[in-house]
Homo-oligomer: A and B are copies of this chain.
Amino acid sequence: METTKKYNPETYKTPTGSQLNCKGWVQEAALRMLLNNLDPEVAERPEDLIVYGGRGKAARNFESLDLIIKALKDLEEDETLVVQSGKPVGILPTHKDAPKVLISNSQLVPNWANWKHFDELEKKGLMMYGQMTAGSWIYIGSQGIVQGTYETFSAIANKDFDGSLKGTLTVTAGLGGMGGAQPLAVTMNDGVCVVAEVEQWRIDKRIKTKYLDESIEDMDAAIDRALEAKKNQERVSIGVPCNAVHLLERLKERNVIPDVLTDQTSAHDPLIGYVPHQISLEESNVLREQDPDKYEELSYESMYRHVELMLELQKAGAITFDYGNNLRARAQEKGLKNAFDFPGFVPAYIRPLFCEGKGPFRWAALSGDLADIAETDRVIKELFPENESLMRWMDMAQERIAFQGLPSRICWLGQGEREKAGLAFNKLVKEGKVKAPIVIGRDHLDTGSVASPNRETEAMLDGSDAVADWPLLNALVNTAGGASWVSLHHGGGVGMGYSIHAGMVIVADGTDDAEKRLKRVLRNDPGMGVIRHADAGYDIATDTARKHKLDIKERLK
């Protein structure tokens, strides 16, 4: 089914500047963000259309990609392009306040919602795995996750170490699209970080983009360097080209107990993701093709051992948490009873933020001009001077974040704040203070957009972890409010069967129409999260709902 066409960076270059290639800025934004997702600086493997997260793709195949591009260029202001698992299937009449693109990726009827069935469908060319922001065209490179990762490690620093990771050692694994942000987030919190990564080129890529400081091939040498740095309260991150399991085994043998322990290998996908420790990387690449069942068996065994080692180090004193890749569930599927003895990062650190409607607000300058992002940075700092951690983040981001593809920024904003920022950006465009419109989106890992019982909705107060009405309502509400494009995904982050989530992007093109849409969408989108958490019984959310007039009973009193 796949066309033989190859990725050509010239053909698929992201347009920049203030000239339109489409019939309006909303369509243009979709076009630029789709191509930006595939920019070699941004995507993990553009030649396979893979953006990040194992096999998270932006389009089903090159034929579909070409057709989407054509459709976006042809799309009128009162039409909507419909995309089914990365393939454009229809252009339908709607109206100017309706989304210009509607996307659903890798959704399966629950009893068939497993990797085996998905793989069959994918082989037949009927499906695509969209991860979260890959298939919904709002990925902005590792930068996107740095802020979330930074928030997590700040929360750890605050909760467990008096506000800083100075003089502590964090051990983790995986330097992929998401995992690559870990070392930077740790050093931003002044700590030492050691990361196992099986592929040397990923380590090199992270060093090039300034997310990682050093690469040390010898495991023991790397551990020694880290211990030295910890003692000297240095802030440094070290990549080690090895399997996570081997690194943890060595730490255990040497009785080196990390202060903080986690993992971001692509455990959500036991076949095209996690690399088992029993064989070499080269052998694993061959085995995956020749005997996928055997590969999965090794993979599951390896993840069992991986979690076992994490539990042992936890017992020895490491603050241990699952970082959203579903590693614990894999080990449990394989029979490890106490796999869930260490918590997920959301209930441990993130949920209180969700209750205030806080989440990963991101934006990109469609002009491609760095000065435009500088302008938006200035606006954010002006708007929220009282938010100290936000101010600290903005400073560090400006100083340390290397842009990939279209210049972009991310920061966590809460209920009320997102509207303010969106409207301010629209004003910048209107007044010509930036050279082209600004596109605003968010990760699917957000307060109101996801049901994922092993990650974002783990251990909800009322037991509603698996209720998936919420992300679906989020997508419907954003469609009704007039977001620019809306998407629904299955299996993002944690793999098939484990999650349902919704994406949203909205363009600030400086028009009055956009102003109205921004006001609605940036209120309703986090609002659904506040409502969801208030419904589950979280007091912070109840207060936030009341404060922001989201409480239906108050309204109907």
Check if B470 sits within 8 Å of A84, measured CB to CB.
Answer: yes
Q: Map CB proximity to B onto A443-467 as digits: 1 under 8 Å, 0 otherwise.
A: 0000000011100000000111111
Asked whether any CB of chain B lies closer than 8 Å to the CB of A91, the reply is: yes
Check if B520 sits within 8 Å of A453, measured CB to CB.
Answer: no
- Taking the closest CB of chain B, its distance from the CB of A195, in whole angstroms, is 30
Asked whether any CB of chain B lies closer than 8 Å to the CB of A264, the reply is: no
**B-chain residues with CB within 8 Å of residue A74 when the two chains form the complex:** 555-556
- Taking the closest CB of chain B, its distance from the CB of A231, in whole angstroms, is 45
Check if B112 sits within 8 Å of A466, measured CB to CB.
Answer: yes
Asked whether any CB of chain B lies closer than 8 Å to the CB of A400, the reply is: no
Q: Map CB proximity to B onto A503-531 as digits: 1 under 8 Å, 0 otherwise.
A: 00000000000001001100110011001
- Taking the closest CB of chain B, its distance from the CB of A120, in whole angstroms, is 8
Check if B95 sits within 8 Å of A520, measured CB to CB.
Answer: yes
**B-chain residues with CB within 8 Å of residue A89 when the two chains form the complex:** 473, 531-532, 535, 552
Q: Map CB proximity to B onto A485-519 as digits: 1 under 8 Å, 0 otherwise.
A: 01010100000111110000000000000001001
Asked whether any CB of chain B lies closer than 8 Å to the CB of A196, the reply is: no
Asked whether any CB of chain B lies closer than 8 Å to the CB of A99, the reply is: yes
Q: A107-B468, A109-B453, A469-B107 are in contact. Are A84 and B523 (CB under 8 A)?
A: no
Asked whether any CB of chain B lies closer than 8 Å to the CB of A113, the reply is: yes
Q: Map CB proximity to B onto A171-208 as digits: 1 under 8 Å, 0 otherwise.
A: 00000000000000000000000000000000000000
Q: A121-B467, A527-B90, A552-B88 are in contact. Are A473 and B82 (CB under 8 A)?
A: yes
Check if A497 sits within 8 Å of B110, measured CB to CB.
Answer: yes
Once bound together, how far apart are the Cα atoms of A480 and B94, in whole Å? 6
Asked whether any CB of chain B lies closer than 8 Å to the CB of A550, the reply is: yes
Residue of B nearest to A95 (CB): B97
Check if A80 sits within 8 Å of B477, measured CB to CB.
Answer: yes
Residue of B nearest to A92 (CB): B524
- Taking the closest CB of chain B, its distance from the CB of A154, in whole angstroms, is 29
Asked whether any CB of chain B lies closer than 8 Å to the CB of A339, the reply is: no
**B-chain residues with CB within 8 Å of residue A105 when the two chains form the complex:** 469
5 new A-B pairs (CB below 8 Å) besides A93-B481, A95-B516, A109-B452?
A90-B531, A102-B477, A104-B473, A107-B467, A476-B488
- Can you list 17 A-B contacts (CB < 8 A)? A85-B467, A90-B552, A91-B555, A93-B519, A93-B523, A94-B477, A94-B482, A94-B520, A94-B524, A97-B98, A102-B473, A106-B469, A109-B498, A112-B465, A126-B464, A126-B467, A476-B488
